[in-house]
Structure 1
């Protein structure tokens, strides 16, 4: 608990203070600089100047990283009679620390008149921030009562702090009541604070409405809205929001750039991501660890793993997240050996792996079928680093073991988990049952999944595919009928391709594109040239009991085929074609794409729901293991 007992000191005449020491907060940002200045103050015999020491505390409160509390307290205790300015800055130091509740003890001392100073509007702002951070709801409500009692209820800075406090401790409704209470006591920060509350609560529609109602907007307003779109999966809206920022002429901040790069990465829009990168360069924007990591992630998820590696190698300072993103990027592209080598280098550099680090490592093993290595790193994670396996780690191991044929071991792993297995794990195992022909186990797991989540269409489809492979058409019809009765639909597959400054989206059998006639003519040409290589359609992914010719037509019009056909039409000879697909590519499309890459002498990069496939000269980077 904080305690301060001022000791009476004899009167003295203050010495002259050198001008450079009068503006400490503006000039000092690191703890080392502050300590050097403090040492100079001591050498010059200025330790009795309350104003100077108060500015030193302000420097500590505004420093880049939270200052050590013992040091801040030592500075504060050197005061004869601390001013409210000094006290406020110590409150700010407490607020930024891991002990924000100590701010309340110091505030209580002010109320008990242990100091000559009395709280002012800034005091309440900082104390409410501490209450929000400490989730001290009861204490914060009492502080609010003090605010009203002492006549600060209409102070805009305090009201802004109240909005944040009430959202953090009591929820959106309470913060909205504070926002609505004083309609005329609002500034831009008030609107931005309330906007951020809507975004954090996931209420994007309400956030959009408030954004439109704002009397003015700054870069923080746009940043909040764009970040909200990305966090809530509204990726296309995020891109539109970014162009809105550009149209206003505002200089984007780091949060905007990181968010729009994330949206580009998730959508796989390389050209858009490259444009953002060029803007970063043209603005001479500093490549921080966060921005650099976002660029690495964007290029990796857009298929340019070599560019990711180049950026990573040239980063002057790499934090753990940069290493994690690079390891995961290599894994995503099937470069398992490189990913594991990078992980070992990461350890040699003295970094401690986090749970997400091992997700990337185990994912690398899974993508390449490295069973021995996967077992080793899973054991290393739990036994050497004491990291408790989470659902994603189990998911990687179940995928690795089951696809490699160790289905029984995968089942045993799930049954011995320390946490309740996610339906995704059983779904992964069900997919392996189809691959390896474990019909009886697949039937058992499929029915279990349908019981666990009867509204998930994918479970019905997977069970149908197990029956279809066994040519049990009556069972396929039964599962399909059950799916229909429960109004459960299969997730619609789509493929995106970025071309001519636009994003083009295709679904299977799509006839809505403006160049549909040319696309289907190209499909015919592809079919003719591919047939000459001796290709025979693999129609096992078609689960309907229909004729062979109808099945071949359905496969030929899969979304990625349409996207590739369009890509051949609109890109230059020899150019790489990049496609993003939301579902895992089927066996037949995978085989056909390999042939297309050889016949048309094109590199085709497909990011499906599982990984990247680099098709070139009739081969795929996954080596037909996906």
Structure 2
């Protein structure tokens, strides 16, 4: 066995010597800047077999090369390090760096202690590497001790060490400490310093401070812009993130993959197609490669902006897909009511050798729920548990309860909830409450509604749902009682709004008269009202939770936010253009019927993304088949 190993080492040496002449005194001289692990081992073999003078010094360089590897073989590094009786500071530093980059950051910190016990004096590189280890291990106590060593040994004004300290404090959520380090030496900063502080401020929610710092930063690199864009989006300021992206493009900065993915996801969350199309066109104009993360984000964006056909096209054109890509497409199809396509795609997904996850089954069960496929829903729920061993989570139960509730199978929904190993969350009960409203189950709805109010007294939706059940049953005293309870508990109904994009964003609320074209919009509403009445429209005033005259109820419904948005859309778009609306709440029954008739009378395609799903209105029909 030993002879075989020696022969293998000799063969490796011959490979090196035959490919390029290596100086006996400089055996590492001809290695590339970032050699592969195989090349490093060949050089190591040459050093061992040829008995090169200065073995310890060369081993330090071997460790230096290993520390640059993308995947560091820590066992191999440790073996090299422990062969040396008296490793130098240089060797210690490189071993500390290897451990810091690997999965053993605490071992890196321990090795620093070992260096001190040997009475070796750490240098600036030592602190840079060991502080990186502290950041990775979130070892704030050890990091603070190292900070004192930095000051004691006179390295307090070293730029790289200061950057490592700022990064440590930021990572460990000690923002004020990082701020103090940042402000100590005003002249000792580079773009890395500023970027670390920008990230810290954004992570801490100090948006204004980050904006001020960003304004002062003279040399902004792509990381600076990425930090601001990502910070805006993570703090829910989606539109500001997109504005920042556009400003970055005006200044000629080429985005990286992380920026593209972030702004695509922001566009998806907003549901505004124009923003997403701008990002997509930027990717194409720069000939930026459509990686799996970017392709997946684009599929998700188009699905959430109502362009499911574009999502399907992108999905089909992607040469490589991962499981997340498939999951996004399955969930997208489900949200648009394409249940059979979603289920067929799931079959292809498993045929391709992918293993479903909990997210996959959320999409599959949601598809069944949207289309009322009760039998299929039961089968897939059983398949998820029995074949793939995935324990149902609240979202899976939610899909099944929704499926049963929509089909009026209230008892089966109750039975499923009773089998849950964890207590049902308010969303499940709210789903059942909605079904009670649809099927007029006043007593059951009253019980669930009161239970929900006890579980989650601050949530306005529960009161509104319960009041809606009473209103449908014309129990106006109970409606008044529930609304009074809302007021007493400071729980007001969330105002519904609708967004439409046309040379900017236009937001409407019910009865809105703030828009600059308000008079034109209301004139168009009158026109719409006359045309749909001629087509046989009759108002459904059940959503109005007030005991008022029928005429007043009809007038209240006429000015719902989505109707104002559609009236504006008809005014400002071409006849062949699709009108796209984003709504924060579930569309009411009457508005749903009105938009169906509008799509037929005005021969317009209208897509509404409400709080529940997508509705594609065309030629008097909706993709949800009146089942939402």
The alignment's TM-score, normalised by the length of structure 1, stands at: 0.89
Q: Which residue does the alignment assign to 1:490?
A: 493
Post-superposition offset of 1:585: 0.9
Q: Across the two proteins, how many residue pairs are aligned to each other?
A: 604
What does the per-residue CA deviation read over 1:287-306, in whole Å, with 9 as the maximum and x for residues that have no partner?
A: 22222211111111111112
**Residue 393 of structure 2 is aligned to residue 390 of structure 1:** yes
Q: Which residue does the alignment assign to 2:354?
A: 351
1:278-317 aligned at under 5 Å gives the runs 278-317=281-320
1:351–1:121 CA distance, 2 compared to 1 (3 A): farther
Contact persistence 2:128–2:164 (CA under 8 A): yes
Q: Which residue does the alignment assign to 2:590?
A: 588
Post-superposition offset of 1:412: 3.2
1:202–1:46 CA distance, 2 compared to 1 (3 A): farther
Post-superposition offset of 1:104: 1.9
Contact persistence 1:24–1:55 (CA under 8 A): no
SS of match in other structure, 1:24: coil
Post-superposition offset of 1:463: 1.0
Pick from 494, 510, 513: which aligns with 1:511? 513
Q: Which residue does the alignment assign to 2:102?
A: 97
Q: Which residue does the alignment assign to 1:113?
A: 118
For the residues of structure 2 that align with 1:187 and 1:350, how far apart are their CA atoms? 48
Contact persistence 1:47–1:53 (CA under 8 A): no
Pick from 429, 432, 438: which aligns with 1:435? 438
Q: Which residue does the alignment assign to 1:151?
A: 154
What does the per-residue CA deviation read over 1:43-63, in whole Å, with 9 as the maximum and x for residues that have no partner?
A: 696895777765654554444
**Residue 230 of structure 2 is aligned to residue 227 of structure 1:** yes
1:66-465 aligned at under 5 Å gives the runs 66-74=71-79, 76=81, 84-113=89-118, 118-169=121-172, 171-465=174-468
For the residues of structure 2 that align with 1:58 and 1:364, how far apart are their CA atoms? 54
Contact persistence 1:34–1:56 (CA under 8 A): no
1:478–1:198 CA distance, 2 compared to 1 (3 A): same
1:138–1:208 CA distance, 2 compared to 1 (3 A): same
For the residues of structure 2 that align with 1:118 and 1:332, how far apart are their CA atoms? 63
Post-superposition offset of 1:123: 2.3
1:573–1:415 CA distance, 2 compared to 1 (3 A): same
1:293–1:530 CA distance, 2 compared to 1 (3 A): same
Contact persistence 2:466–2:482 (CA under 8 A): yes
SS of match in other structure, 2:105: coil
For the residues of structure 1 that align with 2:626 and 2:381, how far apart are their CA atoms? 25
SS of match in other structure, 1:606: strand
Q: Which deviates more, 306-315 or 352-361? A: 352-361
What are the ranges of 5 or more consecutive residues in structure 1 without an aligned counterpart?
1-12
Post-superposition offset of 1:602: 1.8
The alignment's TM-score, normalised by the length of structure 2, stands at: 0.89
Q: Which residue does the alignment assign to 1:574?
A: 576
Contact persistence 1:605–1:612 (CA under 8 A): yes
Q: Which residue does the alignment assign to 2:3?
A: none
SS of match in other structure, 1:241: helix
Q: Which deviates more, 198-207 or 464-473? A: 198-207
SS of match in other structure, 1:572: coil
**Residue 30 of structure 2 is aligned to residue 24 of structure 1:** no
Contact persistence 1:95–1:126 (CA under 8 A): yes
Q: Which deviates more, 76-85 or 609-618? A: 76-85
1:207–1:415 CA distance, 2 compared to 1 (3 A): farther
Post-superposition offset of 1:423: 1.9
Q: Which residue does the alignment assign to 1:6?
A: none
Post-superposition offset of 1:20: 4.9
Q: Which residue does the alignment assign to 1:620?
A: 622
Pick from 530, 533, 538: which aligns with 1:531? 533
Post-superposition offset of 1:351: 2.6
Q: Which residue does the alignment assign to 2:4?
A: none
For the residues of structure 2 that align with 1:139 and 1:18, how far apart are their CA atoms? 36
Contact persistence 1:575–1:603 (CA under 8 A): yes
What does the per-residue CA deviation read over 1:513-559, in whole Å, with 9 as the maximum and x for residues that have no partner?
A: 22222222222222122112212111111111111111112212111
For the residues of structure 2 that align with 1:259 and 1:343, how far apart are their CA atoms? 27
What does the per-residue CA deviation read over 1:77-128, in whole Å, with 9 as the maximum and x for residues that have no partner?
A: 67786554554344333233332222123323322339xx753222222222
SS of match in other structure, 2:616: strand
For the residues of structure 2 that align with 1:341 and 1:131, how far apart are their CA atoms? 49
For the residues of structure 1 that align with 2:378 and 2:95, how far apart are their CA atoms? 51
Contact persistence 1:457–1:491 (CA under 8 A): yes
Contact persistence 2:27–2:46 (CA under 8 A): no
For the residues of structure 2 that align with 1:426 and 1:172, how far apart are their CA atoms? 41
1:198–1:390 CA distance, 2 compared to 1 (3 A): farther
Post-superposition offset of 1:340: 2.1
What are the ranges of 5 or more consecutive residues in structure 2 without an aligned counterpart?
1-22
What does the per-residue CA deviation read over 1:405-434, in whole Å, with 9 as the maximum and x for residues that have no partner?
A: 222232333344333332222222211111
SS of match in other structure, 2:448: helix
For the residues of structure 2 that align with 1:274 and 1:47, how far apart are their CA atoms? 64
SS of match in other structure, 2:283: helix
Post-superposition offset of 1:465: 0.3
CA RMSD of superposed structures (Å): 2.7
For the residues of structure 2 that align with 1:47 and 1:34, how far apart are their CA atoms? 21
Bigger Rg, structure 1 or 2: 2
What does the per-residue CA deviation read over 1:29-56, in whole Å, with 9 as the maximum and x for residues that have no partner?
A: xxxx432564376469689577776565
Post-superposition offset of 1:277: 0.9
For the residues of structure 1 that align with 2:258 and 2:216, how far apart are their CA atoms? 23
Post-superposition offset of 1:474: 0.6
